[in-house]
Chain A
């Protein structure tokens, strides 16, 4: 039955007219349909279960609390020590700041070329970096070729951090007897899961963001960026996708296994590639890795491969951090 404000047509029968865009437009304009009703999942958060306390326990707790709060002697002592601690900390920090600022005034002047840091080391990076590493971006050439061991260590820092986060926050879903999985209580149920605006914008943005991330990774040796920044961008894209479409969609594409194997594969490639280059370098062997034409995408030897590996690790790590913080399971 056509309600009040429902658009009607004089040219088409009702059933046909409801399929057209103009019907939907006029209906939307009239506000006769709430796009959120039935679409957005809004559940109340599970209230914290009150612990069963007997009256005696309650009174005892209250008594304990009162004695602790009104233990004036002790409070005075604590307040006294706290005041001394704060005073000492403030004085220490002021002295520390004073010393550091005084020290800064004796450091070489910023912005001038004639300083100890501008010696033969950056000179070689700038003058022959392009020929020796094949990377147009000198910083990328430096961190992934001249000082690659640091960068390898740095990927391992990320790997170690993910491992510790997994230890702390990873909760395996418990299987119920009927074969379904229990909902994990830490999942934030209040969060809207089918937000139309978020979904519409994510549909447009996610592919663009991920493409941009890939672009940044692949151009790491040519322009600002590289594995870490590109990986972080891809990770952000994945997080946006998850926020818009929920875990059911992302689980098809990214699970714990994905994380394990992607990081394993990427770090192994990284490790083997760098081991090869360290080994040949230290033993003065020819490395046989073509550097390509500087400026082309496929150039600069191992740097491109390493950037891709780092990008994969970083993207997975960022996404894993988010998932772990939000829910505790993939």
Chain B
């Protein structure tokens, strides 16, 4: 068992990651695939947030001039999550706009169906 009971947050993050992953593998619908991608990303942010946490300490914003290490949690994972969120916003926007273009042209969200239509088009 190891630290599983203490690390339940990370375990949840990992399960979420795999759920997102399986969404990507099993769903044909592009929107559901994008949702899967977002679940994967969020799972990683949950993992990072858990990594930064230290019991009994507060957010890393200096209050009342207290600057001791014992007072604040680790600020690095928070910074990484911030960067990661922006990246996933950009990627989602790009994926969604690709989906819009495909839907306008082929009136379907199923990637396999689009491939069949493309073969029929024979460009």
Binding site for B on A (CB under 8 A): 86, 89-90, 92-93, 96-97, 100-101, 103-113, 117-118, 121-123, 125-130, 136-139, 142-143, 147, 150-151, 154, 157-158, 160-162, 164-165, 168-169, 186, 223-224, 226, 228, 294, 321, 324-325
Given contacts A112-B55, A122-B75, whether A100 and B83 have CB atoms under 8 Å apart is no
A144 to chain B, nearest CB (A): 9
Residues in chain B near residue A118, CB distance under 8 A: 54, 69, 74
List of A residues within 8 angstroms of B22 by Cβ: 89-90, 93
A106 to B: closest C-beta gap in Å: 5
A164 and B94: CB pair below 8 A? yes
Bound-state Cα–Cα, A109 to B82, Å: 23
Complex Cα–Cα for A150 and B87 (A): 11
Name B32-88 residues within 8 Å CB distance of A.
50-55, 57, 59-62, 67-72, 74-79, 82-83, 85-87
Q: Is the interface of B mostly helix, strand, loop or mixed?
A: helix
CB contact list, B1-50 vs A, under 8 A: 1-4, 6-7, 9-11, 14-15, 17-18, 21-22, 25-26, 50
A226 to B78, CA, bound (A): 13
Question: Does A158 contact B90, Cβ atoms closer than 8 Å?
Answer: yes
Q: Considering the complex, which residues of chain B in the window 66-123 have a beta carbon less than 8 Å from any beta carbon of chain A?
A: 67-72, 74-79, 82-83, 85-87, 89-91, 93-94, 96-98, 100-101, 104
A139/B90 contact (C-beta < 8 A), A104-B14, A224-B59 known: no
Contact A169 B18 (CB under 8 A): no
Question: Complex Cα distance A150/B86, Å?
Answer: 12
CA distance A122 to B54 in the complex (A): 12
Residues of B within 8 A of A86 (CB): 26
Q: Which residues of chain A are within 8 angstroms of B68 by Cβ–Cβ distance?
A: 126-127
A93 touches B25 (CB 8 A): yes
Contact residues in A for B10 (Cβ distance below 8 Å): 104, 107, 110
Taking a contact as CB atoms under 8 Å apart, the answer to whether A161 and B62 are in contact is no
**Separation in Å of the A67 CB from the closest CB of chain B?**
13
Report if A93-B14 is in contact (Cβ < 8 Å); known contacts: A104-B7, A138-B62, A324-B97: no
Contact check, A143 vs B61: say whether CB atoms are below 8 A apart.
no
Shortest CB-to-CB span from A149 to chain B, Å, is 11
How far does the Cβ of B27 sit from chain A's closest Cβ, in whole Å? 11
A-B pairs with the 10 shortest C-beta distances? A161-B90, A105-B2, A105-B4, A100-B14, A138-B60, A97-B18, A111-B55, A93-B22, A109-B6, A143-B79
7 contacts between A and B (CB under 8 A): A93-B18, A105-B2, A117-B76, A117-B77, A161-B90, A161-B91, A165-B94
